[in-house]
Amino acid sequence: MIEIYPQNFDGTWFAVALLDRKIVRSWFGSSEAPTLKNVLDNLPFDVPFEVFHEPTTHAKNILTALKSVFDGKETSQELPLSTTHLPAYTKKVLKTTMAIPIGYVTTYGTIAKAVGGGARAVGNAMATNPYAPIVPCHRVVKSDFKLGGYGGGLKVKVDFLKREKRGFSSATDVEVGGALLRVYPVEFALRDMA
DNA sequence: TGCAAACCATAAC
DNA sequence: GTTATGGTTTGCA
């Protein structure tokens, strides 16, 4: 049985779908119905589900963590993602995306170089990311540092990146799965923005 | 800038 | 199997 928990924090709605205490889907948005619908329409398993408006302690922890990520805060908490049903390549891309630190962005092509495959394939994985915003697909931009796309709309992506500004000034490398991933200050992507 | 062609994993037929 | 579809990239005018 999949348990779905929607919750509002400071005017933004968050929702998670849990199966066996692990996250199979998450989403967020400015109103409840579309947020819930996104989750309901994209459940990975054809099993019964139920929506609960009173979160368990476990669910509440996860929802709180989602809100922290949304606010651009560091979260030390490891969130239990259920990824076993995803294609191997998609898992690799998502894992790599999770390695992008707050305050930095990287590009579709850079990720492609790190995990193999092509930039468009990476874009595909982002577009179908089941775990927004836990997997920070908003930190992936085009090679010219223009934004690229975003499932929740470009404005949401911009606002996200603004909250994550940390004042870094130069690129650096992070290690993920034995490969190095080059990441750039989020300011690069916000440079010519209002 | 703008356009065309190459790119590559998925999902849908 | 095959084809269509992208949150892309690069090269070239």
Q: Could you read off the pLDDT of A161-191 as tens digits, one per residue?
A: 999 999 999 999 999 999 999 999 999 999 9
CA A47, CA A147: separation in Å to the nearest integer?
36
**Average pLDDT estimate for A128-156:** 97
- In this model, does residue A145 exceed pLDDT 90? yes
- In this model, does residue A144 exceed pLDDT 90? yes
User: Is the pTM above the cut of 0.85?
Assistant: yes
**Secondary structure (3-state) at A193:** coil
CA A147, CA A131: separation in Å to the nearest integer?
20
Which of A13-22, A69-78, A80-89, A100-109 has the least mean pLDDT? A69-78
CA→C1' distance for A91 and C5 (Å):
20
A117 CB closer than 7 A to any strand C atom: no
What is the per-residue DSSP string for A106-175? EEHHHHHHHHSS-HHHHHHHHHT-TBTTTS-GGGEE-TTS-----TT-HHHHHHHHHHT-----S-EEEE
**Average pLDDT estimate for A136-145:** 98
Q: Of A79, A100, A137, A176, which residue is the catalytic one?
A: A137
Scanning every strand, the nucleotide with its C1' closest to A147's CA turns out to be C7
At residue A194, the pLDDT reads 62
Strand partners, A7: A14
- In this model, does residue A127 exceed pLDDT 80? yes
Residue A193 banded pLDDT, cuts 50, 70, 90: confident
Scanning every strand, the nucleotide with its C1' closest to A88's CA turns out to be B9
Percent of chain A exceeding pLDDT 70 equals: 99
Length, in residues, of chain A: 194
Buried b / exposed e over A116-125, threshold 16 CB at 10 Å, is ebebebbbbb
Which of A14-18, A57-61, A75-79, A115-119 has the least mean pLDDT? A75-79
Active site annotation includes A137: yes
At residue A78, the pLDDT reads 85
Cis peptide bond upstream of A44, omega within 30: no
CA A17, CA A70: separation in Å to the nearest integer?
17
* Per-residue pLDDT tens over the stretch A62-95: 999 999 999 999 987 889 999 999 999 999 999 9
CB atoms < 10 A from the CB of A163, how many?
A: 14
CA→C1' distance for A8 and C13 (Å):
53
Nucleotides of chain B touched by protein CB (<7 A): 6-11
Scanning every strand, the nucleotide with its C1' closest to A128's CA turns out to be C7
Chain A residues 1-40 within 7 Å (CB) of strand C? none
Starting at the edge strand found earlier in the chain, the sheet holding A179-185 runs A140-141, A104-107, A179-185, A172-176
**Rounded to 5 degrees, what are φ and ψ at A51?**
-95, 130
